[in-house]
Structure 1
């Protein structure tokens, strides 16, 4: 399991806001469920490597 830190969660929320996406749209764009995304953006969340990789790939796209 890998932990999504508070700082990472904040950066992910900021990108979501920059793209003017809601939670459902962001989760769909990443390829994860709405519930998992809600947990991730709170920070300090332990997740599987595959989910972490999807989130970080989405986050890094365009930067």
Structure 2
């Protein structure tokens, strides 16, 4: 699983929403902290928006 996160393949991998309720709490409690310690999942974000986090400039207003 760590290799999947490291290669960013997990972003595109989807899990059925019907299964979310059964595994999500345990996954977030047990697995995400391990991935965070390995630097594979963010534990904090730089800014308030995704654009800030990715370091993207704010586009000029359309004319």
Higher strand residue share: 1
Rg: which structure is higher? 2
Q: TM-score, normalised by structure 2?
A: 0.26
Higher helix residue share: 1
Asked which structure has the greater RCO (Cα within 8 Å, sep 6+), the reply is 1
Q: TM-score, normalised by structure 1?
A: 0.26
